[in-house]
């Protein structure tokens, strides 16, 4: 701040008024001289007024000068005080800023372990929730933000091991369910279970292999049925061939079914002939209950055959005779 120009010194001030008083007195004396000579009182009056004016205004000017000097001193004091206060405030602000910086660093150091513990807890929570990706991100933050490279590496290894263990266990559980379905030949249920586990773990090779494994087991079972079919046909096991044919039929492609059609027709004809012979033998022996059973079997397995139509016409009579024979035995 600029210093104001100080007022004139007291010596220059008093010199001016002293010179004015001397001039006034000279005028007064010269006027008195002229008045004594009878030359008029004008100059005398001017000298008197000059002396009076000087004597009156001198103390007034002195008072004004004193006030101005006091004001100037007070202003200088205030200016210096204000400058000192500003310097003090600036110094205080600098000190506070440094203390705040130190406080932030101190708090950072003080809460570092708390933050680390909170991060560990968050990692455990994500692991328990099986959100492995989120847990790995937090483990990486422990390394980048806190610099705990060794602990972060150990946590990543634990996360990956935990993930592998949980996924393997869940896939193994799904595989056990799939195994149960395949043994019961519920292939669609097995495939749905495989699709479910693939949706959960789309990037796991174990899960992605499940549909191929199911289809491989299905094809293996189909080959076993076809081999059994061929063996039954070779042994002329009519009943066994038909049972196997019923089981293998859902697995056959149209081309495979067409290639087996002629052999199957021959087997069903042989089956029908066997049933006809047994039915005729039961009727000759008047074993009406057996005849009814065989007749119903023929109508069920070969509903469009001529024999089924003939038996249908006589079935009521056969049931009556079987009922009467049962009553006689009772």
Domain encompassing residue 90 = 10-110
DSSP 199-219: HH-TT-HHHHTHHHHHHHHHH
pLDDT at 209: 93
Closest CA relative to residue 119, chosen from 102, 101, 141: 141
Q: Return d(Cα 46, Cα 42) in angstroms, integer.
A: 6
Q: Is residue 292 part of a domain?
A: yes
Among 110, 135, 151, give the residue marking a domain's end: 110
Size of the chain in residues: 330
Q: Return d(Cα 260, Cα 92) in angstroms, integer.
A: 104
Let me know whether 121 and 101 are in one domain: no
Let me know whether 76 and 128 are in one domain: no
Let me know whether 62 and 130 are in one domain: no
Q: Is residue 243 part of a domain?
A: no
Q: Return d(Cα 245, Cα 252) in angstroms, integer.
A: 10
**Directed axis angle between helix 238-248 and helix 210-234, to 10°?**
160
Q: Is residue 90 part of a domain?
A: yes
Let me know whether 31 and 100 are in one domain: yes
Among 125, 157, 186, give the residue marking a domain's end: 186
Reduced to 3 states (helix: H, G, I; strand: E, B; else coil), residue 41 is coil
Let me know whether 22 and 105 are in one domain: yes
User: Is 248 exposed, middle or buried (CB count within 10 Å of its CB: 0-12, 13-18, 19+)?
Assistant: buried
Let me know whether 88 and 128 are in one domain: no
Q: Is residue 205 part of a domain?
A: no
Residue 100: which residues within 8 A CB-CB, separation 6 or more?
none
Let me know whether 106 and 119 are in one domain: no
- The one-digit pLDDT tens for each residue of the chain (330 residues) are 444 444 445 566 667 767 777 877 777 787 777 777 776 677 767 777 777 777 777 677 777 777 777 777 767 666 677 677 767 766 766 665 655 554 555 455 556 667 778 888 888 888 888 888 888 888 888 888 777 888 888 888 988 898 888 888 989 999 999 999 999 999 999 999 999 999 988 888 989 999 999 999 999 999 999 999 889 888 888 888 888 888 888 888 889 888 888 888 888 888 888 888 898 898 888 888 888 898 888 888 888 888 888 888 888 888 888 787 767 665
Residue given tokens 């027709």 in the structure block: 265
Q: Is residue 246 part of a domain?
A: no
Q: Return d(Cα 79, Cα 96) in angstroms, integer.
A: 25
Let me know whether 277 and 300 are in one domain: yes
Among 63, 91, 110, give the residue marking a domain's end: 110
Closest CA relative to residue 194, chosen from 205, 183, 210: 210
Let me know whether 23 and 103 are in one domain: yes
Q: Return d(Cα 194, Cα 174) in angstroms, integer.
A: 7
Closest CA relative to residue 187, chosen from 231, 250, 232: 250
Let me know whether 25 and 88 are in one domain: yes
Let me know whether 135 and 159 are in one domain: yes
The total domain count for the chain is 3
Let me know whether 105 and 143 are in one domain: no
Q: Is residue 273 part of a domain?
A: yes
Q: Is residue 37 part of a domain?
A: yes
Distance, C-alpha 145 to centroid of its chain: 20
Residue 4 is classified by DSSP as P
Q: Is residue 215 part of a domain?
A: no
């Amino acid at each position: 701040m600029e210093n104001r120009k100080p007022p004139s010194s007291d010596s220059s001030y008093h010199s001016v008024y002293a010179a004015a008083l001397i001039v006034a007195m000279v005028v007064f004396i010269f006027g008195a001289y002229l008045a004594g000579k009878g030359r008029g009182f004008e100059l005398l009056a001017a000298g008197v007024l000059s002396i009076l004016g000087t004597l009156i205004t001198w103390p007034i000017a002195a008072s004004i000068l004193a006030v101005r000097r006091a004001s100037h001193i007070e202003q200088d004091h205030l200016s210096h005080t204000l400058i000192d206060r500003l310097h003090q405030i600036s110094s205080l602000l600098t000190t506070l800023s440094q203390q705040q910086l130190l406080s932030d660093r101190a708090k950072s150091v003080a809460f570092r372990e708390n933050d680390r513990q909170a991060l560990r807890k968050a990692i455990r929570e994500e692991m328990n929730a099986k959100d492995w990706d989120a847990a790995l991100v937090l483990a990486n933050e422990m390394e980048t933000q806190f610099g705990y490279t060794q602990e972060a590496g150990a946590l990543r290894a634990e996360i990956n091991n935990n993930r592998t263990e949980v996924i393997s266990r869940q896939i193994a559980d799904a595989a056990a369910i799939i195994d149960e379905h395949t043994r019961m030949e519920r292939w669609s249920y097995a495939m749905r279970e495989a699709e479910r586990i693939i949706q959960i773990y789309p990037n796991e090779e174990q899960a992605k292999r499940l549909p191929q494994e199911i289809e491989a087991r299905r094809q293996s079972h189909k080959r076993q049925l076809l081999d059994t079919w061929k063996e039954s046909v070779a042994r002329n096991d009519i009943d066994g061939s038909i049972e196997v044919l019923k089981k293998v039929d859902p697995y056959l492609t149209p081309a495979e079914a067409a290639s087996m059609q002629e052999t199957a027709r021959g087997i069903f004809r042989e089956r029908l002939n066997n049933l006809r012979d047994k039915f005729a033998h039961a009727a000759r022996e008047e074993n009406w209950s057996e005849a009814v059973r065989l007749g119903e079997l023929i109508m069920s397995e070969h509903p469009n055959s001529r024999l089924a139509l003939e038996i249908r016409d006589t079935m009521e009579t056969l049931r009556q005779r079987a009922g009467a024979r049962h009553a006689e035995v009772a």
